[in-house]
Amino acid sequence: MNSDPAPGPVDHQVRVTNQVRVTIGDAARASGVSAKMVRHYESLGLLGEVARSEGGYRQYTAADIHTLRFIKRSRELGFSMAEIAELVSLWHDKARASSQVKLIASQHLADLEKRIQAMQDMRRTLQNLVHCCHGDARPDCPILDELAGEG
């Protein structure tokens, strides 16, 4: 009797190596990035030169998938594509100074803090307007007055 488990789906995070190359669909699944975005990131030069099969199909390595995950995480943290390009370049540059990376992250953090403050200001304004509006059958509305510059 054979006690080996039945073969399941390929776990690309484990089995993809720099010697094994996978299709764009497999790379997309393994990285959590859509195939459309994989092509977009490639077109921006974020992946470097991606190998192609004799038939012209893209072939991705574990290093490519690792880079896609790096890009995805950077996007989740709100970095711009220009910032991500610089971060990817620094990540691949083993002679980089961490101060360069910290500067990019610090500038991004300062920008986020400004945007958060602006959104908090908007929230306070809207809370005040909603509180001041009676929300009844009368036509007067401080929300519309404020939006029209009459408030």
- Quick: pLDDT tens for 102-126: 999 999 999 999 999 999 999 999 9
Residue 52: its H or E element: strand 51-52
Task: Give the Cα separation of 39 and 49 in Å (integer).
Answer: 12
Give yes or no for a contact between 15 and 27, defined as CB atoms under 8 angstroms apart: no
- Quick: pLDDT tens for 19-61: 688 999 999 999 999 999 999 999 999 998 888 888 989 999 9
Tokens at 12, concatenated: 């690309």
Tokens at 127, concatenated: 């809370």
User: Which amino acid, 30?
Assistant: A
Give yes or no for a contact between 88 and 46, defined as CB atoms under 8 angstroms apart: yes
The average pLDDT across 128-138 equals: 91
pLDDT at 73 over 70: yes
Task: Give the Cα separation of 120 and 123 in Å (integer).
Answer: 5
Give yes or no for a contact between 105 and 113, defined as CB atoms under 8 angstroms apart: no
